[in-house]
Chain A
């Protein structure tokens, strides 16, 4: 499903938003992907009827009017449950809309439901969700990736046209790669985070999953820009220009053979239109530990608010404060979340938080290296993930293996640059994503480049 075709049918009245919604809900309910945690039928139909009326009057709000959106369940929709994939928020109703949601709705977008995710976005396979794992729509024995597994799966399976998710270290790009769709992480500070439940505030970005680059572009235009609620939005845009030189890497540690095969094929297909230049990205090695320290430290603080006092899971017993906290947090958080909170608390406490400060120095180093690369090339093309989708429980016993899933994506968050994952093809019916990365605030140019690459690759299938 893409928005262009949907809107075309709406315009010639061969389809109505209400009937599309009917069909979509039927499909979701007959499917066992588990990509949604909550379906938002009431608000969806309310908006669909309004949208239908606008099309009948020949007066749609925008190119997104009536387009079906899914929203990752860590992004607030007013009066709708927001669980963040956790038991601790399993009954929490958000009293307000996230800025991104507000802006989508203003354009006439219809919110189908809230998508499943790794608990508090901590995971790369969607297996840490309290609401159970999501199945990969391309092969149900495999994980959809994470943490925005539900978002990518919902889009790839036609359960939504576009999904608004989040990307802290690859959480929109890696599941897009695993599900065979597009996943876009913009420059940090481009889309308001207001209403996005914080995982690691200095790295979190709102991300977009869709079936084509054009849809990511449309959604990005709708949600980007300054917001009085988020002071970290800078809203800087680089001048428009066409990319000429594209960087690629030849040596990537731990990369699976099939991924290399797809990558090499896709790189060579770009050689007609672009000048290719081999680049080194040695900083990838330090990016994972840097990423771990930053996210664990920040999340230990960001998740402190879930204490059973104001909202969320209520303590069944516990007379003293300490007992209330341990009862609620002990029962409410899953083991991956607890593990990260503990490690983050340790890193912030030991040596007066020196580790966290050091991780910022490493971030600066990585950002400098990236800046240097972009003096030589306009964009870098590399695989999104070292591996193809893996089977359920294949990596859950080894957190370190799981963390390697972020190897090729986290550096973009650490250096605040935009990146987009496109489907590069399939090996044994398993999708393999290829990632395009550009310099800071070059989001529009990157999306242009991604459209071109998408076109070249689809011609050379």
Chain B
């Protein structure tokens, strides 16, 4: 059975990087101790009132600008009312009719434009923890942590596009420093809404929303599962119910959780405790200057400046820290193919292996820069460079020290190279004889012998050149 055409929209929540919560001064930190960063305001004690953290406003405006949104000079807060134990006040303070930013877009890696309907500020809820005794505990450390919610138009046609969008959003939030956007820590969460229809001319089907998708993989699996489920229902003549679905990570399946709420069930109304948020025009324009280079712009520049391919530019910009590391490492070099390729081949793999961020490596971009310079002037060969890099990553020693210790410096001194070759030839007379009798394919073997004896101290090019002469 073939699936119907899916229509997908995404609601993304990102935790705004801030030292304190959105409406009080409690610290925001990733902590294992429950209920330590709490106060009357974020615990919803009687009489406590919210007062807006201006850092959150700043970051929301920056995010809006980075996502090509129009910034609303006047926006306002509203209460979203519902009962749940992790919601201390019985309502969430959010933005409803007047969000801080609207009508933006993002370009996917397949060049498709995804429209962003709105971006607004809101507070996070606490967390429910179910312990072994089947008791439910509540941790309010997260209550009042600042979030931005980014809502797209239903512009996605596949799970892959949705995942790509999440990746682009994550990249932009990290580049601008709006959020660390770490999905495992829940700093970035995506909730897709999905419907299916028979043809692109038919009206949109009834949509469902999936919650609890805590990784890119889960988003992909969850969406595909839901598309299948809805397609089957429709094919069998059933109707899709308007429901909120829950993703089960172990089974990689989605289940209906509850009937989907309509806006009126949340009894939205203007938050009387907070005046309208009024921005100054020059504040908004001054924020434009703080965005730095956004990932897509940087990719274009890297392609031009370092002659890397489009794919390579994606690799280098996958994390801002990596791109920064790259540019600092190749600074004041010729940035030729040889060292750029070396970087692209080795560094991402190294980060992957160590599972760290470029900033957390034991060596600095300046340390790597001196190794790259050695490679550039062929003072070490690429194999040696790989060895040196590994050791730098393990011990943090400088490349000079490692080169010295392991005697890995290549020589282009003609006499030394010639001496090495004649010694090698003397040790391998049989092969030399056969070569001279016409077995030309043995040349490579002889080069290999020389290389082995040189232990990287001589470049293959110079062995090649001299060996050929000396075998004549």
The verdict on A358 contacting chain B, using a C-beta distance below 8 Å, is: no
Q: Which of A90-98, A110-118, A365-373 contacts B (4 or more CB under 8 A)?
A: A90-98
Shortest Cβ distance from residue B393 to the other chain A in the assembled complex, whole angstroms: 49
**Do B269 and A301 touch (CB < 8 A)?**
yes
Partner of A196, one of B47, B263, B264, B269: B47
**Do B81 and A310 touch (CB < 8 A)?**
no
Contacts of A94 in B (CB 8 A): 45-47
Contacts of B138 in A (CB 8 A): 309
A413 CA / B245 CA spacing, docked (Å): 45
**Interface bits B27-60 vs A (CB < 8 Å: 1, else 0):** 0000000000000100111111111100000000
Contacts of B292 in A (CB 8 A): none
**Do B49 and A193 touch (CB < 8 A)?**
yes
Contacts of B84 in A (CB 8 A): 321
Chain A interface helix/strand/loop/mixed: loop
A195 CA / B89 CA spacing, docked (Å): 15
Q: Are A304 and B46 CB-contacts (below 8 A) given A202-B272, A348-B81, A353-B267?
A: no
**Do A228 and B51 touch (CB < 8 A)?**
yes
The verdict on A210 contacting chain B, using a C-beta distance below 8 Å, is: no
The verdict on A84 contacting chain B, using a C-beta distance below 8 Å, is: yes
**Do B51 and A230 touch (CB < 8 A)?**
yes
Partner of A310, one of B44, B50, B268, B275: B44
A306 CA / B267 CA spacing, docked (Å): 18
**Do B85 and A198 touch (CB < 8 A)?**
no
Shortest Cβ distance from residue B136 to the other chain A in the assembled complex, whole angstroms: 9
Provide a sorted-by-A list of 15 A–B residue pairs whose CB atoms are within 8 angstroms: A76-B46, A193-B47, A193-B49, A196-B47, A202-B272, A230-B273, A231-B274, A297-B269, A300-B81, A301-B267, A304-B89, A304-B90, A307-B83, A349-B264, A352-B263
**Do B51 and A76 touch (CB < 8 A)?**
no
A193 CA / B275 CA spacing, docked (Å): 14
A74 CA / B48 CA spacing, docked (Å): 12
**Do A345 and B267 touch (CB < 8 A)?**
yes
Tell me the nearest residue of chain A to B77, going by C-beta: A231
The verdict on A356 contacting chain B, using a C-beta distance below 8 Å, is: yes
Q: Which of A301-352 contact B (CB under 8 A)?
A: 301, 303-307, 309-311, 321, 325, 345, 348-350, 352
**Interface bits B248-286 vs A (CB < 8 Å: 1, else 0):** 000000000000000111011100111100000000000
Partner of B46, one of A197, A229, A345, A353: A197
Contacts of B348 in A (CB 8 A): none
Chain B CB within 10 Å, residue with most, of A84, A300, A301: A301
A352 CA / B263 CA spacing, docked (Å): 8
Q: A94-B47, A348-B81 are in contact. List 18 more A-B contacts (CB 8 A).
A: A82-B46, A96-B45, A194-B47, A198-B47, A198-B273, A200-B272, A231-B50, A231-B51, A231-B52, A231-B275, A232-B272, A232-B275, A303-B90, A305-B90, A309-B85, A310-B43, A310-B45, A357-B269
Contacts of A350 in B (CB 8 A): 264
- Which of under 10, 10 to 19, 20 to 34, or 35 or more describes the interface residues of B? 20 to 34
Q: Which of B73-121 contact A (CB under 8 A)?
A: 79, 81, 83-85, 88-91
**Do B269 and A232 touch (CB < 8 A)?**
no
**Do A231 and B273 touch (CB < 8 A)?**
yes
A346 CA / B44 CA spacing, docked (Å): 23
**Do A232 and B273 touch (CB < 8 A)?**
yes
A297 CA / B88 CA spacing, docked (Å): 19
Contacts of A229 in B (CB 8 A): 49, 51
Shortest Cβ distance from residue A5 to the other chain B in the assembled complex, whole angstroms: 33
Contacts of A321 in B (CB 8 A): 83-85
Shortest Cβ distance from residue B77 to the other chain A in the assembled complex, whole angstroms: 10
Shortest Cβ distance from residue B47 to the other chain A in the assembled complex, whole angstroms: 4
**Do A92 and B46 touch (CB < 8 A)?**
yes
The verdict on A75 contacting chain B, using a C-beta distance below 8 Å, is: yes
Shortest Cβ distance from residue B226 to the other chain A in the assembled complex, whole angstroms: 27
A18 CA / B81 CA spacing, docked (Å): 48
Q: Which of A181-201 contact B (CB under 8 A)?
A: 193-198, 200-201
Shortest Cβ distance from residue A311 to the other chain B in the assembled complex, whole angstroms: 7
Chain A CB within 10 Å, residue with most, of B49, B89, B273: B49
The verdict on A52 contacting chain B, using a C-beta distance below 8 Å, is: no
Tell me the nearest residue of chain A to B52, going by C-beta: A231
Contacts of B40 in A (CB 8 A): 95-96
The verdict on A89 contacting chain B, using a C-beta distance below 8 Å, is: yes
Tell me the nearest residue of chain B to A353, going by C-beta: B269
A321 CA / B268 CA spacing, docked (Å): 23
**Do A194 and B88 touch (CB < 8 A)?**
no
Partner of A305, one of B46, B140, B263, B273: B46
A201 CA / B49 CA spacing, docked (Å): 10
A177 CA / B292 CA spacing, docked (Å): 64
Partner of A349, one of B48, B140, B267: B267
Tell me the nearest residue of chain B to A304, going by C-beta: B90
Shortest Cβ distance from residue B25 to the other chain A in the assembled complex, whole angstroms: 9
Q: Which 8 A-B pairs have the closest CB atoms?
A: A304-B90, A201-B272, A348-B267, A202-B272, A197-B46, A195-B47, A305-B44, A76-B47
The verdict on A298 contacting chain B, using a C-beta distance below 8 Å, is: yes
**Do B88 and A310 touch (CB < 8 A)?**
yes
Contacts of A96 in B (CB 8 A): 40, 45, 47-48
A75 CA / B48 CA spacing, docked (Å): 10
Q: Which of B176-234 contact A (CB under 8 A)?
A: none
Shortest Cβ distance from residue B168 to the other chain A in the assembled complex, whole angstroms: 34
Q: Are A349 and B265 CB-contacts (below 8 A) given A201-B273, A231-B51, A232-B275?
A: yes
